[in-house]
Amino acid sequence: MSARLPPSFDHVMRFESVGLRYGQRPEVLEDIRLDLKPGSFHFLTGASGAGKSSLLRLMYLGQRPTRGLITLFGQDVATLPRSKLPALRRRIGVVFQDFHLLDHMSAVDNVALPLRVAGVSESEIKKHVPELLSWVGLADHLNAKPPVLSGGQKQRVAIARAVIARPDLLLADEPTGNVDDTLATRLLYLFEELNKLGTTVVIATHNEGLIKSFAHSRLHLERGRLVDPPPFKEG
């Protein structure tokens, strides 16, 4: 399991004047400045195409910015040697919008992957992975492979994989998009539990109902820029 942040850290992630463009096209993210405090919880909102997924991609080091400075766990990502990046990535749990599950592996093996990559013993894996999968309601699907799982079940496997290693930073792209409201609320409670244990959480979502139910800060993107979040729609 990952180490907790040392108390001296005043931020988990900091973006300073960060911009991102793909090829020669206009910037999809412009002048992003943000500071994620340890143990904070944020919803990332914005219309489709506003740049939520791109921002998350920068956060989980799936992409390098075209300008600006990103500091993760106190380290400048741009100047960090490549060999140090995996250790940083292991401190981040990611729920991808399209799940990124490995189709040839069972649910258990998919969820166990971050632990195996981190060198956790098989006995620990056998103890914790089925427990977490049961918690997300997949006790009967431990050995099922993703192609036979429904969208909602895949999403829960993806969430379990993201949280199994107790990451310091949890990033989720529409993690409740394929589940009913009851399960969505339950999953949000799981994220809150992790947050209480010290994990910083950023959840990209369109689900205004959920955002209203959980009183956490909002990072709102409009056309690639972070702006003050608009008020919730009536009704």
Partner 1 sequence: MSLVRRRTDLPTTSDATSRFVPLLIALMVFLAVMALSGLMVLHGLAGRWERDIRGTLTVQVPAVISGPEAEARSHAKVEAALNILSDTRGVLHAEPLGRDRIISLLEPWLGSADLIAELPLPRLIDVTTDPHIAIDIKALAARLEAVQPGATVEDHRIWLGRLLRLTRSVEMLAVLVLGLVGVITSATVIFATRTGMAIHHQVIEVLHLIGAQDDYIARQFARRTFLMGLKGGVIGLGLGIGAIFSFGFMARSLEGGVLPEFWLTPAHWLAVVSLPLAAAWIATLTARIAVLRALARMT
Which residues contact partner 1 (rule: CB under 8 A)? 60-64, 82-83, 86-92, 94, 100, 102, 104-105, 113-114, 116-118, 161
> In this complex, which beta carbon is closest to partner 1, that of residue 118 or of residue 183?
118
Closer to partner 1 by CB, 86 or 209: give it. 86
Shortest distance, CB of residue 117 to partner 1, whole angstroms? 4
Q: From the CB of 84, what's the least distance to partner 1, in Å?
A: 10
Nearest by Cα to 70 from 52, 57, 53, 86: 57
Q: Select 69 or 183, whichever has its Cβ closest to partner 1.
A: 69
* Closer Cβ to partner 1, 45 or 161, answer by number: 161
* Least gap, CB of 11 to partner 1 (angstroms): 21
Q: From CA 206, how far away is CA 203, in angstroms rounded?
A: 10
Question: Closest Cα partner for 232 from 218, 203, 222, 221?
Answer: 218
CB of 102 to partner 1, least distance (A): 6
CB neighbour burial string for 51-87, b if at least 16 within 10 angstroms, e if fewer: bbbbbbbbbbbeeebeebebbbbeeebeebeeeeeee
